[in-house]
Amino acid sequence: MQKNTSWDKVGDWYKDAVGDKGHFYHQEVILPNVVRLLKLNPTAKLLDLGCGQGVLARAISKEVAYLGLDLSPNLIEEARKLDQNPIHKYGVADICKELPIKYSGFSHAAIILALQNVAHPFKVFKNLAIHLNKGGKLVIVLNHPSFRIPKHADWEVDRVKKIQYRKVDCYMSPLEIPIESSPFDRINNVSTTSFHYPLSAYSEMLFDNGFVIEKIEEWVSPKKSEGGMAEVEDKARKEFPLFMAIVASKK
Ligand SMILES: C[S@@+](CC[C@H](N)C(=O)[O-])C[C@H]1O[C@@H](n2cnc3c(N)ncnc32)[C@H](O)[C@@H]1O
């Protein structure tokens, strides 16, 4: 049986965390850069997979036709509430299975912080190969797969050298990592799952489904520290990107 990776059970928390305009990283880093990379013209048709509460739909220009799909009914209901645009549509769907849409012909697609939450990313690319036009553009945003592997990557400080560095204890092996919302609260604790793959695995999955990688960008956090360690922390923040964006096109 396929694992249910929907964020429905953390939907109320995610709705508050993201709100109408997105959380801090959506607003300061992800959405402006995704809009820049997508380069949508008014006749574009955008497919957003793992759309959550549709935060990307509200960041693009109003003339662009948009379809957002997500496995969480709770988040899709919120997306519909927040978006009155008649050419924006939403649906509940497992993006790892055959998509419940007749219409193909999308010029653009996006997967924002969702590919690492699905059990079968290969099948997501297979779906995109069906529904994107030839030459169609795909923008993927990942938590950086080399530096941010949940429970396997963390900051360490070397007080002698006065540096903060990233410790990574594994990378090449695919991993399925449960993320608990409140590990010390047995009643309210719920978990989501994060799936790790090395960058080469994503490259191969894209290649095998007829996509060409055009560009990879790495985005750092714009946050600034305060206090005695501020200089060390700010330097490390600039060295280790939080997010990776992959821009690919369908052959
Ligand atoms: C971190 S959230 C990102 C949501 C949105 N893209 C954003 O940036 O706010 C990950 C999303 O992936 C969705 N998801 C997980 N597995 C899925 C699947 N198999 N099919 C469709 N959506 C899925 C979750 O329900 C959740 O909304």
Domains and CATH numbers, the chain: 8-146+171-225+242-250 (3.40.50.150)
Using the mean position of ligand 1's atoms as its centre, give its distance from the Cα of residue 69 in Å.
9
Task: Supply the angle between the helices 121-131 and 199-208 in degrees, to the nearest 10.
Answer: 40
| Count of CB atoms situated within 10 Å of the CB of 155 | 12
Which atom of ligand 1 is least distant from the CA of 118? 16
Which ligand 1 atom lies nearest to the CA of residue 120?
Answer: 19
Q: What percentage of the chain exceeds 70 in pLDDT?
A: 99
Question: Which atom of ligand 1 is least distant from the CA of 94?
Answer: 20
pLDDT of res. 191: 86
Q: Best substitution site from 24, 53, 70 to test ligand 1's pocket, by max atoms within 8 Å of Cβ?
A: 70
pTM of the predicted model as reported, rounded to 2 decimal places: 0.96
Residue 26: what pLDDT? Answer: 98
pLDDT, residue 184, reads 74
Protein residue with its CA nearest to atom 2 in ligand 1 = 114
How many Å apart are CA 173 and CA 162, to the nearest integer? 31
pLDDT score of 1: 61
Burial group, residue 111, by CB count within 10 angstroms (0-12, 13-18, 19+):
buried
Q: Specify the pLDDT at position 84.
A: 95
pLDDT in tens, 56-66: 999 999 999 99
pLDDT confidence of 75, banded at 50, 70, 90?
very high
In the structure, which protein residues have their CB atom closer than 6 angstroms to any atom of ligand 1?
Answer: 5-7, 18, 50-52, 55, 70-72, 75, 94-96, 112-114, 117-118
Q: What share of the chain is helix, strand, coil (3-state, %, to 5)?
A: 30, 30, 40
pLDDT in tens, 124-161: 999 999 999 999 999 999 999 999 999 999 999 999 99
Q: For 176-222, how does the pLDDT look when each residue is reduced to its tens digit (9 = 90+)?
A: 999 987 777 777 778 899 999 999 999 999 999 999 999 999 999 99
Query: Which atom of ligand 1 is least distant from the CA of 5?
Result: 16
